[in-house]
């Protein structure tokens, strides 16, 4: 558990219950791993009004969802690898929902009771490959294409929160979650009507306007008000 730059070791896991130990570490003493290893990552496309306008697309009447493989998960501070198959790899700043308990056919009114918490996510996308294909699995599914972290905030109201992408110190995306087309509870309800959501699964809620490319040597930060900063470097694949 993280609090005031101190990390306390725990017994158990957040899905079945935890107990704090007496072991404490400073933030600088530890390496942060992805705070969750989801069985699946379900992402919402085109879920910000500003992004739809940027792309000159009509607002979707229903959520547009797709899957990212769990093998794409990347730890905070590790390197996003630009694959040789792509000449343009983009950042996408997103709020991510971590599911806390098994969830199937829930209503929007019930959905909040199935959430463990929220974290930052970068829905890295090979934009040139996405433009080639009607299915986005390849464009969004490469290893390292889903940085998650730095931790899960369990006491969090997702409404009216600022979300930013900062590339090499320059602000690129600056949005507010009140710009969502489909709110968190609707996304969970909609997805749970299709597939069972299990503890640890992640729902990525979409990105705002301002998406853009990353180059080798860059540093990308995803910052969400009330959660923290997810930071990663960028490197080219070595062949």
* Whether residue 81 sits in one domain with residue 127: yes
How far is the C-alpha of 210 from the C-alpha of 90, rounded, in Å? 10
* Whether residue 115 sits in one domain with residue 151: yes
* Whether residue 45 sits in one domain with residue 4: no
Confidence check: pLDDT of 142 > 90: yes
pTM above 0.85, yes or no: yes
* Whether residue 40 sits in one domain with residue 135: yes
**Residue 122 structural domain:** 32-236
Please report the pLDDT score of residue 104 as a whole number.
Answer: 98
How far is the C-alpha of 94 from the C-alpha of 198, rounded, in Å? 20
- As a whole number, mean pLDDT of residues 166-185 equals 97
Q: ∠ at Cα 26 (21, 32), nearest 5°? A: 85
Nearest residue to 43 via CA among 156, 187, 228, 225: 187
Rg (CA), the chain: 17
Using one digit for the tens of pLDDT, what is the confidence trace for 82-124?
999 999 999 999 999 999 999 999 999 999 999 999 999 999 9
CA 54 from chain centre, in angstroms, equals: 21
Confidence check: pLDDT of 170 > 80: yes
* Whether residue 162 sits in one domain with residue 78: yes
Half-sphere exposure of 24 (CA within 13 A, CB side): 7
Confidence of residue 3 (pLDDT cuts 50, 70, 90): confident
* Whether residue 169 sits in one domain with residue 76: yes
* Whether residue 113 sits in one domain with residue 60: yes
> What does DSSP assign to residue 30?
S
Domain with residue 129: its CATH number is 3.90.850.10
Counted domains in the chain: 2
The residues pairing with 216 across neighbouring beta strands, listed in sequence order, are none
* Whether residue 134 sits in one domain with residue 53: yes
171's tokens = 């602000």
Hunting for tokens 């006491």 — which residue is that?
A: 155
* Whether residue 39 sits in one domain with residue 24: no
Using one digit for the tens of pLDDT, what is the confidence trace for 37-50?
999 999 998 899 88
Q: ∠ at Cα 89 (146, 234), nearest 5°? A: 70
Please report the pLDDT score of residue 19 as a whole number.
Answer: 87
* Whether residue 154 sits in one domain with residue 140: yes
Please report the pLDDT score of residue 233 as a whole number.
Answer: 98
* Whether residue 186 sits in one domain with residue 155: yes
Contacts of 3 (CB under 8 A, 6+ apart): none
Confidence of residue 57 (pLDDT cuts 50, 70, 90): confident
User: Phi and psi for 26 in degrees, rounded to 5?
Assistant: -80, 160
Using one digit for the tens of pLDDT, what is the confidence trace for 115-124?
999 999 999 9
Please report the pLDDT score of residue 52 as a whole number.
Answer: 78
Confidence check: pLDDT of 163 > 80: yes
* Whether residue 11 sits in one domain with residue 43: no
User: What does the chain come to in residues?
Assistant: 239
- 36 within 8 A of 152, measured Cβ to Cβ: yes
């Amino acid at each position: 558990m993280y609090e005031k730059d101190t990390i306390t070791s725990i017994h158990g896991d957040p899905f079945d219950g935890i107990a704090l130990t007496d072991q404490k570490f400073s933030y600088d003493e530890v390496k942060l791993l992805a705070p969750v290893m989801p069985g699946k990552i379900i992402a919402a496309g085109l879920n910000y009004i500003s992004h739809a306008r940027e792309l000159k697309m009509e607002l979707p009447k229903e959520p547009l969802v797709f899957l990212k493989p769990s093998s794409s998960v990347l730890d905070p501070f590790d390197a996003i690898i630009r694959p040789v198959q792509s000449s343009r790899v983009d950042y996408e700043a997103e709020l991510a929902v971590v599911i806390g308990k098994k969830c199937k056919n829930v209503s929007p009114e019930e959905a909040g009771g199935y959430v463990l918490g929220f974290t930052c996510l970068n829905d890295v996308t090979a934009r040139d490959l996405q433009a080639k294909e009607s299915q986005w699995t390849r464009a969004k599914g490469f290893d390292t294409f889903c940085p998650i972290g730095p931790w899960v905030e369990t006491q969090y109201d997702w409404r009216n929160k600022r979300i930013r992408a900062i590339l090499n110190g320059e602000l690129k995306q600056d949005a507010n979650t009140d710009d969502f087309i489909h709110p968190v509870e609707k996304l969970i309800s909609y997805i749970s009507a299709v597939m069972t959501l299990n503890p640890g699964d992640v729902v990525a809620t979409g990105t705002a306007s301002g998406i853009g490319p990353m180059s080798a040597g860059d540093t990308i930060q995803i910052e969400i008000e009330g959660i923290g900063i997810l930071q990663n470097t960028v490197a080219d694949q070595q062949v």
